[in-house]
Amino acid sequence: MELKRVVITGLGALTPIGNTLDEYWNSLKNGVSGAAPIESFDASKFKTQFACELKNFNIQDHLDRKEARKLDKFSQYAMVSSAEAMADSGIDLEKINLDRAGVVWGSGIGGLKTFQDESRDFWAGDGTPRFNPFFIPKMIVDIAAGHISIKYGFRGPNYVTVSACASSNNAMIDAFNLIRLNKADIIMSGGSEACVNESGIGGFNALKALSTRNDDPKTASRPFDVDREGFVLGEGSAAIVIEELEHAKARGAKIYCEIVGSGLSADAHHITAPHPDGIGAKSVMVQALEEAGIQPEDIDYINVHGTSTPLGDIAETKAIKEVFGEHAYNLNISSTKSMTGHLLGAAGAIEAIACIKAIENNIVPPTINHFTDDPDIDNKLNFTFNKAQERTVDYALTNTFGFGGHNTSVIFKAYND
């Protein structure tokens, strides 16, 4: 069976550093930090009192108030970014086969705030079970894909992948495979997360996973810096229209780039810590290169997982050096989480867009907040510290790794007919 070629034809972004695709990309290029004191709830008693929240965002600018109340924030965000991606793609719903159009979305946690609020209200009451009839449909993680498919009438493959922080990379990989195996023509993919709430901050604080740099939130996410001490929680969504090449060409679509490789692995090591030698990270990058049919020397840019945790940044750096050898010193590497914070299950999608826009514009976004080299990290590598760099980007690779030892890599290629 001849595998189909797979391309990107639409993008949408709702992030802590921009509520549209263009705003997001401009902030990435300019090294804007999205971290600030939390405004959505009183965080004064929490160890971490800041996050990368959405800014100047009102769901009623996008959805009817009555309809918005039926959706948890993570689904609201999914609807907003997917609408932008659909508009960007130029798809005419009357001219495509809706049975071959699907949604494969990613979210690590889903409706956490809905679960928190409904549970709190029940236990604060007299024990009488008064639950919102939309409690379960708002909370379940698969519902975002359902809402998107209902809105656009997509009757093809429809589900949500759940692999913690690797979730939306898993979603894109599944979409890639479904299309190249001729199971679909178009798939809306991406991811959304909305965990900046009491349960999210409190839970990650209990794990000692978050930065507690409350006196200086904007510089708290500092991947590869010696003083990094945890990630900054973010929220938002990104959507990517993934399409079979000939289908895209037949309708005259704009083609951003091509997806050419992917990798999936497990560390089989620890529920939250990466393997210290980065063996799972190494495996997915090797798999992606082999599937793409390219050499390590072909990669120009790696958007790393780079969460700003003491162990994770070291393990990923080791893996990159082992996979890429001497070419590792010719690469541009950056962690855009230094700006957006960590969007958990949506991280892969917003970071994929960073790669896609880097290819389109030949600009590598920076890793901001670098102050002091870490002697345990090879600082001869080009981490694109503090300022974007211009370079030709023909191939970009993005890594995402999740609690549970889930590892994923995706390779994007500049499109050539």
Is residue 342 part of the annotated active site? The answer reads yes
Instruction: Given the residues 62, 275, 305, 370, select the one marked as catalytic.
Output: 305
Structure token pair of residue 110: 């889903």
Is residue 305 part of the annotated active site? The answer reads yes
Residues with Cβ within 8 Å of 45's Cβ and at least 6 positions away in sequence, in order, are none
Task: Give the separation between CA 408 and CA 166, rounded to whole angstroms.
Answer: 6
Instruction: Given the residues 52, 165, 195, 257, select the one marked as catalytic.
Output: 165
By C-alpha distance, which of 295, 303, 349, 356 is closest to 326? 295
Contact 198, 23 (CB under 8 A): no
The dihedral through the CA atoms of 293, 295, 296, 298 has a sign that is: negative
Angle between helices 143-152 and 73-89 (to 10 degrees): 40
Instruction: Given the residues 342, 355, 370, 406, select the one marked as catalytic.
Output: 342
Instruction: Give the pairing of strands 395-402 and 236-244.
Output: unpaired
Contact 349, 10 (CB under 8 A): no
Is residue 275 part of the annotated active site? The answer reads no
Q: How far is CA 216 from CA 34, 48, 59, 306, 369, in A?
A: 12, 11, 29, 20, 11
Residue 232 CB neighbour total at 10 angstroms? 29
Task: Give the separation between CA 393 and CA 395, rounded to whole angstroms.
Answer: 6
Catalytic residues: 165, 305, 342
